[in-house]
C-alpha cells in the first residue's frame, strides 16, 4: 500500500528508543529518584514541624493505627531529615546511597500505610512516589555510571 508520502511500506510503529543507551536512561532515573526522595523529605519535614507547632495537619477525627498526632509529627520530622540526607547521598552516585534510598522509600511507604486512615489520598500518592523511587533505584542502580 502506498502512503501519501510515496512510500510503499508504511511503518507506523512507535519509535520509543533512547539514543544514548542504558547508561543515559539509568542516569535520568537516578536523578529522578534523588529529586523525588528530596521532595518527599522536604514535605515530611514541613509536615512534622507543622504538627509539632500545633497546626491542624491531621483532621480532628483522624484515627491513627497507633500513637497520636504528636508522635507522627516527630516521625515525619525525623523521616524528612533522613530522606533529605538520602537524596543528597543518591546524587553522589554511591552504591551504598542507592541501598539507603531503597530503605528510605520502603520505610516511608510503610509509614504512609500507617497514616492512611488520617489522609488516604495523600498517603496513596506518597506510596506511588515511593514505589517509583524504589523501582528506579532497583532497576537502574547497577547500570548507572559511577564516576
Summarised one tens digit per residue, pLDDT across range 90-105 is 888 788 888 999 999 9
pTM of the model: 0.76
> Measuring CA to CA, how many Å separate 21 from each of 17, 18, 32, 35, 135?
8, 6, 17, 22, 18
The alpha-helical segments, DSSP class H, found in 91-140 are 95-115, 120-140
Q: Using DSSP, how many helices (H) and how many strands (E) does the chain show?
A: 4, 0
Across 78-101, average pLDDT: 89
What confidence tens digit (pLDDT) does each residue in 4-44 have? 556 555 555 444 344 555 577 777 888 888 899 999 999 99
Torsion on CA atoms 95, 31, 128, 109, rounded to nearest 10:
40
Amino acid at each position: 500500500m502506498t502512503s501519501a508520502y510515496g512510500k510503499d511500506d508504511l511503518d507506523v510503529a512507535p519509535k520509543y528508543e533512547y539514543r544514548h543507551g542504558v547508561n543515559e536512561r539509568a542516569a535520568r532515573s537516578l536523578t529522578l529518584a534523588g529529586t523525588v526522595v528530596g521532595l518527599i523529605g522536604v514535605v515530611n519535614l514541613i509536615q512534622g514541624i507543622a504538627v509539632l507547632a500545633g497546626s491542624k495537619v491531621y483532621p480532628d477525627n483522624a484515627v491513627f493505627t497507633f500513637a497520636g498526632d504528636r508522635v507522627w509529627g516527630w516521625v515525619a520530622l525525623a523521616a524528612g531529615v533522613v530522606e533529605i540526607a538520602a537524596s543528597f547521598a543518591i546524587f553522589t552516585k554511591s552504591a551504598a546511597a542507592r541501598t539507603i534510598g531503597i530503605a528510605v522509600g520502603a520505610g516511608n511507604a510503610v509509614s504512609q500505610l500507617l497514616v492512611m486512615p488520617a489522609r488516604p489520598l495523600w498517603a496513596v500518592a506518597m506510596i506511588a512516589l515511593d514505589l517509583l523511587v524504589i523501582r528506579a533505584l532497583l532497576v537502574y542502580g547497577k547500570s548507572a555510571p559511577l564516576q
